[in-house]
Structure 1
Amino acid sequence: MSELTISTTQNVTINFKAASVGERMSASLLDLLIKIAYIIVVVYVFFYLLRITDILDKIDMWSRMAIIVLFFFPVMVYSVTLESIFEGQTIGKKIVKIKVVKIDGYQASFGDYLIRWLFRIIENNMLGGMIGLISMSISNKTQRMGDMAAGTAIITLKNNVSISSTILEEIGETYLPVYPLVIKLSDNDMRIIKETFQIAEKNGDIETIQKLSKKIQTVTGIKMQTSNQMDFIKTILKDYNFYTQNM
């Protein structure tokens, strides 16, 4: 399983495990089974129980095609729709525990998922899907052509996750927040802040901690009420958890 390095906006590299070809194919197979199940239900209900074929026989060819496309449209847009809703995951990806991410550290957007979907049409319909398989096999990030075009990759979520690797912080019931303006930050901001801080603290990188502290103050307008920048960042993490858990 290859290592995937993502550079955040704070110029800090974070290592993830790229999903293997087997994991990606397993997720695709599960999604395919879901699509097949949907098609079977649609065919049975509309074409067998409701006998819609009797209606189709009475209309022109273009109207008939339009109705058929309408019935099977959810299958066509399955991946781009679910990835947009579930932030990089389809049902198959959720089961296999893999996820689409941007390789620049940002959350992938609808446009990124759309690019991946458009390329999937090409990759899956040329040479029996061999193009996508070859692309993933030779890519050091297990990317297919759609991932390369969209600047995305798929990571595995199967690593053991502890509270230290999330944006969560342990705070007691009596905790009193210090910086209300911390709510200007997003979950993604806090994830990057925490990951950056943990790496800098582990390496004794005081310069990065100072830059991170200044960046937080600039973005939020917060005035640091302590001379210890490490304590300031720890308080920011706790305050964010306090406000988001009590909203």
Structure 2
Amino acid sequence: MNQEQVDIKTPEFVSLQFQSAGLGSRTAAFIIDQLILMTVNVIIIIGLGLVLYGFDDLFYLADEFMSYPIAITLIVLFLLNWGYFFVLEYFSGGKTIGKRVVGIRVIQENGHSLTILSSFIRNLVRIIDSLPANYLVGMLMIFFHPKNKRIGDLVAGTIVVHERKTKKKSRLSAIEKEIERRGLSKDDVEIEEWAFRSLGAKEWNLVKTYSHRLLQLPKDERVQLTNKMAEILLPKIGIEIEGKEASELENALLTLYLFLKEEWEFEL
């Protein structure tokens, strides 16, 4: 099925455009993830056999299938195979290893990053999507749904989209030159994961507009805009603004721009 462009209106009335990920790209990502999980599963099973029975009796492991160690191992494997998607999608910006390789990610329908609840729900419903075998239900849903959603996406209110970072330009923009001149980088500020996830499309558009207007303003207007943006954005990531000079606040906002640019700027 052809990729569809998806227009998303955020709660902040910001319009975002994404390219929905179709069956082909999602299948490719899933195969990569399954190969990784299969490798880990085999290593765990073989390791268990060697520890419990030794090399000579490894091939008789099936005879002891109902023993407590095997039952515990099966539970661990189930949690690993389910938790892999849940944990990575939430803590890695909607991307498992397979999704990262293919260049797709999961986001909420409102354009925000996944919440822990939406990640939990979409992966819990993965059990239904996998029925009756080989993810037949999920594949049929993705193929026929106009936004390429499986049941888990419908229930959790999520969508899988293509992610393409903006191509590097041969010439840096004015703000990029300024950031480079100041020697700023993402390492200059530590942002907690919970704080970073509280920022969405609204904050990205604010900091992007601020950054690109900054150098065009007279000094007085520049200081006023910096103070206003700092009051809105910096407390959300745990940065105190009291007692800081305008130049320090500018640097903090430009560093935040670097963080959000990596998360929100796409080429569609």
| Aligned partner of 1:241 among 235, 247, 254 | 254
What corresponds to 1:173 in structure 2? 181
- CA, structure 1 residues 58+143, in 2 after alignment: closer, same or farther (shift >3 Å)? closer
Q: Deviations over 1:174-214 (max 9, x none)?
A: 59xxxxxxx9x96535313256789xxxxxxxxxxxxxx9x
Percent identical among aligned pairs is 22
Q: Provide TM-score, normalisation by structure 2.
A: 0.63
Q: Is the 8 A contact 1:93 1:99 kept in 2?
A: yes
Distance 1:92 1:220 in 2: 33
Distance 1:160 1:244 in 2: 15
What is the letter of the counterpart of residue 240 of structure 1? Answer: L
User: How far is 1:47 from its partner?
Assistant: 1.0
Distance 2:47 2:6 in 1: 45
What corresponds to 1:3 in structure 2? 5
| Aligned partner of 1:104 among 74, 94, 110 | 110
- CA, structure 1 residues 162+10, in 2 after alignment: closer, same or farther (shift >3 Å)? farther
What corresponds to 2:144 in structure 1? 138
Alignment of 1:76-225 (within 5 A): 76-126=82-132, 128-158=134-164, 160-161=166-167, 170-171=178-179, 173=181, 188=200, 189-194=202-207, 219=232
Distance 1:102 1:197 in 2: 25
Q: Provide TM-score, normalisation by structure 1.
A: 0.67
- CA, structure 1 residues 237+157, in 2 after alignment: closer, same or farther (shift >3 Å)? farther
What is the letter of the counterpart of residue 105 of structure 1? Answer: G
The DSSP-based 3-state class of the residue aligned with 2:17 is strand
Distance 1:88 1:118 in 2: 15
- CA, structure 1 residues 4+102, in 2 after alignment: closer, same or farther (shift >3 Å)? same
User: How far is 1:36 from its partner?
Assistant: 0.9
What corresponds to 2:238 in structure 1? none
What corresponds to 2:31 in structure 1? 29
Q: Is the 8 A contact 1:19 1:154 kept in 2?
A: yes
Q: Paired residues, what number?
A: 214
Distance 1:48 1:243 in 2: 50
Distance 1:101 1:12 in 2: 15
Distance 1:196 1:143 in 2: 32
- CA, structure 1 residues 50+169, in 2 after alignment: closer, same or farther (shift >3 Å)? farther
User: How far is 1:51 from its partner?
Assistant: 2.0
What is the letter of the counterpart of residue 38 of structure 2? Answer: I
Distance 1:221 1:159 in 2: 25
The DSSP-based 3-state class of the residue aligned with 2:135 is helix
Distance 2:61 2:46 in 1: 16
Q: Is the 8 A contact 1:143 1:154 kept in 2?
A: yes
The DSSP-based 3-state class of the residue aligned with 2:40 is helix
Q: Deviations over 1:39-70 (max 9, x none)?
A: 12112222146527799988975664234323
Distance 2:166 2:257 in 1: 24
User: How far is 1:169 from its partner?
Assistant: 8.2
Distance 2:205 2:135 in 1: 36
